[in-house]
């Protein structure tokens, strides 16, 4: 049971334009594991996770999800995806509940919500401590709160596998702690997690294995590397608080 691969990549190559971004990646995530994908900017870590969920065309290699070739994989309710925060902004106001509800669609028939679906949405909001903001517009949230909403959206379908792209980027300390606690809860419930991280930070104790990418190749696959240099200083928590709430430009919806 514990050795069953949930994600398996072998020899995966991908190009953006003509530039190779992944140059033959092997990566296996087994059931119940928490794997961090680390690397510098441009090392291919985001491309790697986006290839797993089929958002980047792969030029060579095999990708399997739950033992099924990804091309034929249809059971997407088992996968919860948390994109980088920038991708989720519509031109019309939407409440926290409305956004999180769209994560539940995979578990509904033709998008008809029953009582259990509404309950699942409420629970997901509870898990990330955003139940009190359920009826607020997502535009009124801080970066960290917005990230919590996106995680709740992924959790609403009760997925077995969570894939997160830089969940800690631009997130305030309080939200980082909530996120770490949410993740700990998911892991204790048996979830499998693959996350892209800039550095391990507050999630370090949760992580079973780290895969470091360099120039589109796997440079390290094993126990999480120890922080070195200034990053290892006690008290260095490396928050990136430079994404203030309300930094988004005003949108009137008049221009596409």
Footprint of other proteins on this chain (CB under 8 A)? Answer: 53-55, 74-77, 79, 81, 83, 87-88, 90-95, 98-99, 101-103, 105-106, 108, 111, 113, 135-137, 140, 142, 144, 153, 157, 172-174, 230, 233-237, 239, 252-256
Residue placing its CB nearer to other proteins in the complex, 33 or 165 = 165
Nearest distance, CB of residue 89 and other proteins, angstroms: 8
Nearest distance, CB of residue 197 and other proteins, angstroms: 19
How far, in Å, CA of 33 to CA of 72, rounded?
A: 24
Residue placing its CB nearer to other proteins in the complex, 106 or 227 = 106
Reading phi first (left if > 0) and then psi (alpha if -120 to 50, else beta), residue 160 is in: alpha
Nearest distance, CB of residue 10 and other proteins, angstroms: 21
CA dihedral over 220, 198, 125, 253, signed as positive or negative: negative
Residue placing its CB nearer to other proteins in the complex, 67 or 111 = 111
How far, in Å, CA of 217 to CA of 13, rounded?
A: 10
Reading phi first (left if > 0) and then psi (alpha if -120 to 50, else beta), residue 118 is in: alpha
Nearest distance, CB of residue 114 and other proteins, angstroms: 13
Nearest distance, CB of residue 220 and other proteins, angstroms: 27
Residue 253: how many other CB atoms lie within 10 Å: 9
Q: Of 36, 33, 45, 46, give the one whose Cα is nearest residue 5.
A: 33
Q: Of 180, 219, 173, give the one whose Cα is nearest residue 37.
A: 219
Residue placing its CB nearer to other proteins in the complex, 11 or 90 = 90
Tell me phi and psi for residue 92, to 5 degrees: -125, 140
How far, in Å, CA of 17 to CA of 39, rounded?
A: 21
Reading phi first (left if > 0) and then psi (alpha if -120 to 50, else beta), residue 54 is in: left
Residue placing its CB nearer to other proteins in the complex, 65 or 127 = 65
Residue placing its CB nearer to other proteins in the complex, 11 or 93 = 93
Nearest distance, CB of residue 90 and other proteins, angstroms: 4
Residue placing its CB nearer to other proteins in the complex, 177 or 208 = 177
| Cross-sheet strand order for the sheet of 217-222 | 79-82, 161-165, 192-196, 34-39, 209-214, 217-222
Nearest distance, CB of residue 245 and other proteins, angstroms: 8
């Amino acid at each position: 049971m514990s050795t069953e691969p949930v994600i398996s990549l072998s020899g995966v190559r991908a190009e953006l334009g003509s530039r190779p971004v992944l140059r033959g990646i092997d990566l296996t995530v087994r059931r119940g594991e928490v794997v961090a994908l680390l690397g510098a900017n441009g090392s291919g870590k985001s491309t790697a996770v986006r290839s797993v969920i089929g958002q980047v065309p792969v030029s060579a290699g095999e990708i399997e999800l739950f033992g099924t070739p990804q091309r034929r994989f249809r059971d997407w309710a088992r996968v919860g995806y948390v994109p980088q925060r920038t991708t989720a902004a519509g031109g019309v106001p939407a409440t926290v509940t409305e956004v999180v509800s769209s994560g539940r669609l995979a578990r509904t028939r033709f998008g008809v919500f029953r009582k259990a679906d509404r309950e699942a949405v409420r629970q997901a909001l509870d898990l990330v401590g955003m139940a009190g903001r359920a009826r607020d517009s997502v535009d009124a949230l801080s970066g960290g709160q917005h990230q919590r909403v996106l995680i709740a959206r992924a959790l609403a379908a009760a997925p077995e596998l969570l894939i997160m792209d830089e969940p800690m980027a631009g997130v305030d300390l309080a939200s980082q702690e909530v996120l770490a606690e949410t993740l700990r809860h998911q892991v204790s419930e048996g979830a499998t997690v693959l996350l892209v991280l800039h550095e391990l930070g507050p999630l370090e104790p949760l992580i079973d294995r780290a895969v470091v990418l360099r120039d589109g190749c796997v440079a390290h696959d094993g126990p999480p590397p120890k922080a070195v240099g200034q990053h290892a200083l006690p008290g260095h928590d490396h928050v990136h608080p430079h994404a203030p709430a309300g930094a988004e430009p005003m949108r009137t919806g008049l221009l596409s």
